[in-house]
Structure 1
């Protein structure tokens, strides 16, 4: 297994609730876990994240819902609509329904289809599908 150069580790309030959300609802894969540590390493396509139940080792301040204020995690996908369907099938609320964005990247403009959802602890996840470049 190849590890990405940056892998966010999210402190979660309940490892089982979070694992169920990421695996069952969003379709992530469990790469490995350390059950005694209440830790799991997850992946979806090229995205990797770690989740670990709050244990007092990593907190730099009080954790109150929503966790991760000020950050959103962009996760690339080929099928935003499939993510939306999975969320609907599990009655998981959307933070923001499917929308298109245009981002200036140097001399190019990239068009992306995106959807926003919060995980059970409030971390903001942005699933993004590249639609192409605008000339």
Structure 2
């Protein structure tokens, strides 16, 4: 079995709360866990990530934190996650009145001589990690898209 070349490990303040969000709301499944270590390895449609409950301590106390932990965690990064049906996740979050960081919208990003389209929204997890869920809208030529602007 092939493993992804990059798997983020998100340090979290409460594993049960994070698992409820990622599994019950978003739709990940637990591939394996180590409850005694407050750890879970998750998967959803080829996307893999790890959750690790770690006490909020300073980096000089020997844990994985590179600085004092303060929420929101993961400042300066957002995780772009392609999903088959971005509307399904969006609708579950809306039903639960989970606040969105950015609403659902179509975005076109220039990539060389073409533009890549995403239907996307952004949401923060219980620890403040920023997640950008999207479904691809395909590609189009930059020249063609200029006439549509």
Interval of TM-score (by shorter of Structure 1 and Structure 2): over 0.9
- TM-score, scaled to structure 1: 0.95
Q: Please, which runs of 5 or more residues in structure 1 have no aligned partner?
A: none
User: In structure 2, what is the equivalent of residue 27 of structure 1?
Assistant: 27
Does 2:85 align with 1:72? no
User: In structure 1, what is the equivalent of residue 39 of structure 2?
Assistant: 39
The runs of at least 4 consecutive aligned structure 1 residues that moved more than 3 Å come to none
Between structure 1 and structure 2, the one with the greater Rg is 2
- TM-score, scaled to structure 2: 0.86
Q: Compare 80-89 and 25-34 and name the one that shifted more.
A: 80-89
Aligned mates of 1:75, 1:18 — CA distance in 2: 17
Aligned-CA RMSD value: 1.2
User: In structure 2, what is the equivalent of residue 5 of structure 1?
Assistant: 5
Shift in Å, 1:101: 1.0
Summarize deviations over 1:20-69 as a string: whole Å, max 9, x none: 10000101111110000000001111211100001452101011010000
User: In structure 2, what is the equivalent of residue 112 of structure 1?
Assistant: 118
Higher helix share: 2
Aligned mates of 1:79, 1:103 — CA distance in 2: 20
Number of residue pairs matched by the alignment: 135
* Aligned counterpart for 2:68 among listed residues 46, 62, 66: 62
Secondary structure of the 2:136 match is strand
Does 2:102 align with 1:96? yes
User: In structure 1, what is the equivalent of residue 146 of structure 2?
Assistant: none
User: In structure 1, what is the equivalent of residue 144 of structure 2?
Assistant: none
